[in-house]
Structure 1
Amino acid sequence: MPTTLESEEHKVLRAAVAALGKRHGRTYDREALWSEAAKLGYLGVNLPEAYGGGGGGIAELSIVLEELGAAGCPLLMMVVSPAICGTVIARFGTDAQKQHWLPGLADGTRTMAFGITEPDAGSNSHRITTTARRDPDTGDWLLTGRKVFISGVDIADATLIVGRTADARTGHLKPCLFIVPRDAEGFTRRQIDMELNAAEKQFELTLDDIRLPADALVGDEDAGLLQLFAGLNPERIMTAAFAIGMGRHALARAVEYARDRTVWKAPIGAHQAIAHPLAQAHIDLELARLMMQKAAHLYDAGDDVGAGEAANMAKYAAGEACVKAVDQAVHTLGGNGLTREFGLASLITAARVSRIAPVSREMILNYVSHQTLGLPKSY
């Protein structure tokens, strides 16, 4: 378990979740783990107490995901359901939306997916073409568009869809968030055939003039990017937690192997060619955690601008540290690193996700160069 500057409450939470993860291990059953984590209050630790949550924040939720990942049993839908959707509804939803969704998201009986990425609008959210228009006769919303690489739609009760509506004053399109039930007419999904080995499946969605009631809109129609980034910043922080946990899991397996594996007189971990890269991987993961903790602190304190910068940096650092830790772990085990027995080979692909999603490392470098350093844009 890592050395941290955390409060005693955070240390207790980390130890308890680590114990839960150890009980389930890397051969875990997703539904069983989800159910037990929910009963223990871990899934809704960031949601308001008034709606059955723990009253904490993204800092606490990131601890839960990191420790489960370190035990080899991460729950990807934690990034989506309580972190993104739960946070957005808690901050901007109506009283009715909060009453309807938050208790279920907190106790794990309900889940939500999140749909933003489109076939022709990956990192460029300004090119989102999913649009919503009002029915002048009923006041309903009509939602049309496509989404791609949306996680867990088949197990989610609804999907929080990022669409765009026309500004009545300027005519420009602005982002808005809509809750789309899984069984909504005109809402279809197609599973994407992925080589990624994960419990949660990926889907392409088609929204064909889905009719939604007026109260399907989350938050203010004119809030735009404020509400969107209220969900995207926790997503980046939680992705960092996911990556750090995965990296820690791979590193622990490699260290255990390096301590015991003996080819000559001493275990291979005594050789600096093996030991130093593992030490470097540990350092990189610890540094990434510090940035993740900073991002979570800023977000929970209500500093959305500061959290945006830190969340991007944390996601970048964690993704890089994860990929390097997994690669070094596999290399340490040699041929054993590619066997099913040790469970590291599947992480080679999974680790790349933390570099790619939900935003690529190149776009994060763009963000830092433009927003932090004040350099001009090339696009």
Structure 2
Amino acid sequence: MTTLIESNEHKSLREAVAAFAKTHPHTLNAEDNKRLWQEAAKLGYIGVNLPEAHGGGGAGITELALVLEELGAAGNPLLMMIVSPAICGTVIARFGTEEQKRDWLPSLADGTRLMAFGITEPDAGSNSHRITTTARRDAATGDWILTGRKVFVSGVDIADATLIVGRTEDARTGKLKPCLFIVPRDAEGFERRPIDMELNAVERQFELTLDDVRLPADALVGDEDAGLLQLFAGLNPERVMTAAFGIGMGRYALSRALDYARERTVWKTPIGAHQAIAHPLAQAHIELELARLMMQKAAHLYDAGDDIGAGEAANMAKYAAGEACVKAVDQAVHTLGGNGLTREYGLGRLITASRVARIAPVSREMILNYVSHQTLGLPKSY
């Protein structure tokens, strides 16, 4: 699958990643997943968006999304690419201190360290203004003390630290504002509990408890007063990368269905000759291509520094990709019939996984709210 707006460099990168991904078995266990991550990092794929001055490829979210899409299209999606280089790496590269950049970016780029991201809370859901994880300053030492809970945090067990979204009190207004803190995995009072998921994925989900976690002053990323600006510097790439995750998964499911439809013969012709099979697969292909175009638009806007434009496009891309992914997976399973639910073909596990692109990191309903209010100018109901 190629697009007209891609440069020759992008096409070459896409071909190289696709060739690399096809040489690896599906990452069905943690060891395979770790090996794939490390080999991809050695080739420069994991840190392709991070600054060259700190060991990265010097490219952008456009290239990182391309990498994730091609890995997913080969059946090897790396969920932590959304989190470690895209969210955490981007935030540190844009707003971190020079010391934070030197400390974290080279190891995030070469795959030797991972960083998780914690924003969602049990009682806040999609309302980030209700985040209750608070950070207060110890007047005597200058340390930060974090207290709160987070849920659905991916890969905490394999991450060296977690970028936590907390809230500090504005000295002028008394209102709480979001701030970002690097919390080491072994910080005292930082506890994790795995969430029992029916999602069949290598990366596990966790609930976190921060019980008066004491951090040095330099654990704060960026300006204490920047608030939402820094937060959305990470959330827009997250949406673009989730779109890439969904598109790659959808492409993988579609390719398995096409192979089957070409070969499976009932009566005298392959089942792919029947329009009842062919047309839904063609529709799935069209919708995946349309979602990719919006994803590329969002990535280009973000890389060009248009945060506002990227916000709208990234939400639309994530919505389109989530819908296209679910439809592609469902149609692939239906094409294979009973075989679609066997382990041999590996599609049944995608029925649950494809829903991730719809509900995370933000639900499709909240995206529709965003477009209704921000794009169409309609009033809010909340």
| TM-score band w.r.t. shorter chain | over 0.9
The alpha-carbon deviation at position 27 of structure 1 amounts to 4.8
Within the candidate set 105, 109, 112, 2:112 is matched to 109
Tell me the secondary structure at the aligned position of residue 188 of structure 1.
strand
Aligned partner (choices 120, 125, 134) of residue 128 of structure 2: 125
d(CA) in 1 for partners of 2:78 and 2:328?
20
Give the equivalent residue in structure 2 for 1:6: 6
Matched, 1:275 2:264: no
SS at match of 1:153: coil
Structure 1 position 241 matched with structure 2 position 244: yes
Equivalent position SS for 2:212: strand
Counterpart code for 1:145: G
Q: Which residue pairs with 2:379 in the alignment? A: 376
1:25 alignment partner, SS class: coil
Q: In the alignment, is the contact (CA less than 8 A) between 2:147 and 2:211 conserved in 1?
A: yes
1:303-314 mapped onto 2 (5 Å cutoff)? 303-314=306-317
Letter matched to residue 12 of structure 2: V
Q: Are the aligned partners of 1:25 and 1:71 in contact in 2 as well (CA < 8 Å)?
A: no
The separation in 1 between residues aligned to 2:4 and 2:154, in whole angstroms, is 31
TM-score, structure 1 normalization: 0.99
Aligned to 1:22: 22
User: Is residue 99 of structure 2 the alignment partner of residue 96 of structure 1?
Assistant: yes
Aligned length: 379
1:20, CA displacement in angstroms?
1.0
2: distance between equivalents of 1:247 and 1:272? 20
Q: Find the counterpart in structure 2 of residue 349 from structure 1.
A: 352
Deviation at 1:252, TM superposition (A): 0.3
Q: 1:251 matched to which residue of 2?
A: 254
Give the distance between the partners of 1:3 and 1:169, measured in 2 at CA: 51
Q: Which amino acid aligns with 2:267?
A: W
* Structure 2 SS opposite 1:24: coil
Paired with 1:187 and 1:209, the residues of 2 have a C-alpha distance of 8
Amino acid at match of 1:143: L
Amino acid in structure 1 at the alignment position of 2:373: H
1: CA distance, partners of 2:169 / 2:288 = 43
Matches within 5 A, 1:147-162: 147-162=150-165
The aligned residue for residue 213 of structure 2 is 210
1:168 corresponds in structure 2 to 171
**1:27 to 1:141, Cα distance in 2 relative to 1, 3 A:** closer
Q: CA deviation at 1:2?
A: 3.3
Letter in 1 for 2:14: R
Contact 2:89/2:105 (CA < 8 Å) preserved in 1? yes
SS at match of 2:90: helix
**What is the one-letter code of the residue matched to 1:311?**
A
CA distance in 2, matches of 1:198, 1:122: 22
**What is the rounded CA distance, in whole Å, between the counterparts of 2:5 and 2:119 in structure 1?**
35
Quick one: distance in 2 between partners of 1:5 and 1:273?
A: 32
The residue type equivalent to 1:6 in the other structure is E
**Identical aligned residues as a percent:** 85
1:164 and 1:176 in contact (8 A); partners too: yes
State whether residues 2 and 11 of structure 2, in contact with CA within 8 Å, keep that contact through their aligned partners in structure 1: no
Deviation at 1:154, TM superposition (A): 0.3
For residues 263 and 148 of structure 1, the distance between their equivalents in structure 2, rounded to whole angstroms, comes to 48
Other structure's SS at 2:309 match? helix
Hey, what does 2:196 align to over in structure 1?
193
* Structure 2 SS opposite 1:155: coil
- The answer to whether the Cα contact below 8 Å between 2:27 and 2:33 also exists between their aligned partners in 1 is no
What amino acid sits opposite 2:35 in the alignment? A
TM-aligned CA distance change 1:27 to 1:158, over 3 Å: closer
Query: Which amino acid letter does the alignment assign opposite residue 33 of structure 2?
Result: R
The residue that corresponds to 1:52 in the other structure is 55
RMSD: 0.7
